[in-house]
Structure 1
């Protein structure tokens, strides 16, 4: 992983410790627990952001955590406490076999890596057919996105300056090119871009109002997609054509006579 990508991830890690970062983590934690609880399989993988226990509600027996080499000991210990095995790796070269993972969670990874397309290609490679991926990202079409745009001009950004935020339509186009079909999406964090926990809590009532009146303007989105493999079909039991008996067709005349007799 190059130094620019490492700096981006460090900037995100630091921001997640702020009041706004805690606000985002609380929403994403609740959303991910709801989504992952009903996804079944054997192997689940979380890539990045070890401060977030994205697989806490997963019922899969093997839950993996892949972090970067820049992750500190406390973050990796948190991953281990969540019954995940922590591994340091480059997100563009994941240490997993092809078609071996049932679920991958990517919390804010694509925005803070130099090669988001390659990361997605790696995710598609390791997912089994009909495997699932969940992606968290900052929504540029939100109050936070507008504030970030102004901050880049004034050099007083609200979100980490190293991030390249991806709109949901653009992300869905990327997924479609890799045969990853988006099935569900969620938005959250409708409070204005305040820097203190006090002011963020003052706008707590905007969560329900935003979800009802302007649902697509949440500061954060969560996209759920499934890996589709062309040409796949379910294989049923091999019936013996010689022994199987089809019901004999009833002659049309007999059917008419039966109707008339009734």
Structure 2
């Protein structure tokens, strides 16, 4: 963990730059998750963003740890966080309930919950309390930039994802104007972005997920305006959105990666088609042609 000053994430998301980034991310996630189907979906961290809003899976959960709990904008007085509506095993629900009670007692305030239609699970993101191969979709919005061990978090995501399950990762692009300003600001102790860890390059992230057996399906970049602090200046550079998407797409401030978990030796097939039985052909003796009679004298 770096000793430099860390920007408060809730305060940053309320700033013009934060609203600009979250609006783009919300739009992209709404479009992508609406086409992902299954039964279980999880969002790890960043409660300011409703990453599963347009997803139609019956069991959707928001997984929070102690670091993101204080910034959660949802509160329901007199209640406690709970597991995934009983969808996962009892151990997960029990662990979530215990940690929810612990956080409630420590903070002295009401327990925090996800939006309507979603459940809240309190746990350590590096030790997810879910069975292996039990989740169809995991969304990690800026989660890797706030964890102390991004490799371990990716391994946990790979463990709980089902074969052919999808992983969506959203992060700040270090190869952008925003990444450059963040690097320079580290020297002065006044960072521009609220990332507690160093930004992860898109190329490095691709190598990490490939090593874990994921197949990169698509990547998307966005937010090409300069890292400015006011709505007025951000508005003046609105023309850079279309230009950047066409001429320098890999230098967007934000990237979104979609990867699919592949399992070697496994091939998913559709329903088995029952073929009509083929009747065995009747067996008949082959007709023999009498050989011509030879002349004994010949």
TM-score in terms of structure 2 length: 0.75
- Would you say the 8 A contact 2:145–2:195 is kept in 1? no
Partner of 1:110, secondary structure, is coil
Give the corresponding residue for 1:115: 149
Match of 1:72 in 2: 70
Does the alignment pair 1:231 with 2:265? Answer: yes
What does the per-residue CA deviation read over 1:28-78, in whole Å, with 9 as the maximum and x for residues that have no partner? 000000100111111110000000000001011111000112413852438
Count of residues paired in the alignment: 242
- CA gap 1:104/1:222 in 2 versus in 1, 3 angstroms: same
Indicate how the Cα distance of structure 1 residues 147 and 85 shifts in structure 2: closer, same or farther if over 3 A, else same.
same
1:38 matched to 2:35: yes
Q: Quick check: which one's helix share is greater?
A: 1
Aligned to 1:179: 213
- 1:52 corresponds in structure 2 to 49
Partner of 2:73: helix, strand, or coil? helix
Tell me how large the CA RMSD over aligned residues is.
Answer: 2.5
Larger Rg: 2
Rounded to whole Å, the distance in 2 between the matches of 1:213 and 1:185 is 16
**Which blocks of at least 5 consecutive residues in structure 2 are unaligned?**
76-111, 282-298
In the TM superposition, residue 87 of structure 1 has moved relative to its aligned partner by: 1.7
How far off its partner does 1:151 sit?
A: 1.0
Aligned-partner SS, 2:193? coil
Q: Residue 110 and residue 191 in structure 1: after superposition, are their counterparts in 2 closer, same or farther (change >3 A)?
A: same
**Which residues in structure 2 correspond to 1:1-262 (within 5 Å)?**
11-70=8-67, 71-72=69-70, 75-77=73-75, 80-160=114-194, 162-235=196-269, 237=272, 243-244=277-278
